Amino acid sequence: MAAPVINKSTPASSVQSLTLGKALNLGLRTAMEADPKVIVMGEDVGKLGGVFRITDGLQKDFGEHRVLDTPLAESGIIGTAVGLAVRGFRPVCEIQFDGFIFPGFDQIVSQVAKLHMRTQGRVKVPLVIRVPFGGGIGAVEHHSESPESYFAHTAGLKVVACSNAVDAYWMIQQAIQCDDPVLFFEPKRYYHSGFMKAEIDTEATPEPLFASRVVRQGSTATLVAYGPSVKVALDAATAAEEDGHSLEVIDLRALSPLDLAPVFESVRRTGRLVVVSEAPSEASLTSEIAARVQQECFYSLEAPVLRVTGFDTPYPPAKLEEEFLPDLDRVLDAVDRSLAW
């Protein structure tokens, strides 16, 4: 995956080769070392180290008072975190699987998102809610959802999604430092993938948290994606080279607020846009992006904005998920349809 270039003059001790999961673990550890008010809480995050081992070793090193194993009650986890946040702590809640966030939905949209506005800015809610999301792991129902559009639609929340190890390391720390509540979506299928390993310079200057990034330059068409779909878009761009097509790929990174300036600039050059996401297409982030690009780049478009998404159905059983998820063939087909317009 494309990542910021490492300064070769940096001492070797500051550069580590890490998977996305290990990068998140190191980012959490770094944030906890820097600020004693950072607290990690969630189901099995302590002794077990989380179901995906993202919090492995943190309770051992920071103690049970800072890494809390909670009951299986998402509403209680988030409600408790709200109280901690307004009292000056910076809680980081882990929702064990994406589909488990819905029992906590009321707390998020009714309390977390509204407290700052309700108190006319007097109360801040520096709360991070980590959400492993997306499919591709062969799981059962409620374990492969893409609920990000619900929260991007909710005023008062910030929503981000990392797609690679470098961003995972820096973005989790930036989210924790943010005084606003942040929904932090993580592509769980890539937590421990060897091909997602990256060299992380822990002394580098990170990019802003709420900024999109061009991860591959091109001139034929623009692909926009986030989270697990970024790899699909990059693979499609590589495959398209065989047909002489140069596809530009943009990783959104921030889902609310959206940073679409790089997308507008790219579409004005290429004239074509394909948006890729695992979430269903109806009333989604891909819909918003298509509408905004149509509004801002109307006279530059050579073809309608096309979307490659999950289908408008509940997430299917594991044996059918490969038919549901956007893949290389579906993205390349969309590119071909755009070019043929």
64-105 tens-digit pLDDT:
999 999 999 999 999 999 999 999 999 999 999 999 999 999
Per-residue model confidence (pLDDT) at position 195? 84
**Residue 151: which of 122, 172, 180 has the closest Cα?**
180
Residues with a known catalytic role: 143
DSSP code, position 38: E
Q: What pLDDT was estimated at residue 62?
A: 98
The secondary structure element, H or E, covering residue 150 is: helix 148-152
Q: What does the block give as tokens for 32?
A: 């906890």
Query: What average pLDDT does the structure give for the chain?
Result: 95
pLDDT at 13: 59
Q: What is the mean pLDDT of residues 289-307?
A: 98
Q: At what angle do helices 20-34 and 165-177 cross, to 10 degrees?
A: 30
Q: What is the pLDDT of residue 6?
A: 37
Rounded alpha-carbon distances, angstroms, from residue 99 to 105, 122, 128, 145: 11, 33, 17, 6
Kindly tell me if the per-residue pLDDT of 7 is higher than 60.
Answer: no
Domains, the chain, with CATH or none: 15-201 (3.40.50.970), 213-340 (3.40.50.920)
Given a cut of 80, is residue 154 above it in pLDDT? yes
Phi/psi of residue 135, nearest 5 degrees: -100, -155
* pTM beyond cutoff 0.85: yes
